[in-house]
Amino acid sequence: MKVKTLIRLILTATTVALFGCGGGDGGGTATTPPATTKPTAGTLSLSTTGTLPAGTLIGGIDVTVELPAGVTVKTQTAFPLEPEAGVVTISGEPARAGGQTISGTKFTAASGATPAALKFIIGSANSAGGALSGFLPGEFVSIKCDVATSAVFPDASAFKILSINVLDGTNAANSLNSTVQGATAFNAI
């Protein structure tokens, strides 16, 4: 009787050891799903809207954009107020038209309650002697922005246009501000 009980006990222990653990990796630890990564960078694109008078093109745009808290741009090491090459790029309408340049680019880092800001000018490089040069309303610039690792790239509504001045294609001091409805921001991550 003792032998039968001992055999049953060994068989039961073996069965539990083989099938009672539920399989798996044998370590009894739960697997952790892969961590989701948040984007630490994004692209802000700006555009204008409106209908220009016949024979008129936008010749230049002077813009200052306020960046939301936690958003910065890469700057040159030797010149921390100047964004790195490729941070502010011509896109959309001026890129299709060609002959546009970016100048006067300046980054101001956030300080206390004052948010960070980015200022730049897009102008027609190919007008001479009052000849018509420029581009139509629409997307005109893309800005590569960075955010802290733990932050999420903000919606377009978090960016503010602090100032904008739109000039006609003769590169004269002819403002189109009453015709072109400023700049609107939209994100493309």
**Shortest CA distance to 134 belongs to which of 102, 108, 98?**
98
- Residues 34-57: tens digit of each pLDDT: 656 666 788 999 988 888 888 888
Q: Which residues pair with 164 in a beta bridge?
A: 63
Coil/strand/helix, residue 127: coil
The stretch 4-27 carries a mean pLDDT of 46
What b/e sequence results for 39-68 when a residue is b if at least 16 CB atoms lie within 10 Å of its CB, and e otherwise? Answer: eeebebbbbbebebeeebbbbbbbbbbbbb
Whole-model pTM: value is 0.72
CB contact at 8 A, 68 and 161: no
- Residues 94-146: tens digit of each pLDDT: 888 888 888 889 999 999 999 999 999 998 765 555 555 788 899 999 999 99
Which domains occur in the chain, in start order?
A: 38-188 (2.60.40)
Q: Which residues pair with 121 in a beta bridge?
A: 62, 103
- Residues 63-94: tens digit of each pLDDT: 999 999 989 999 998 888 999 999 999 999 88
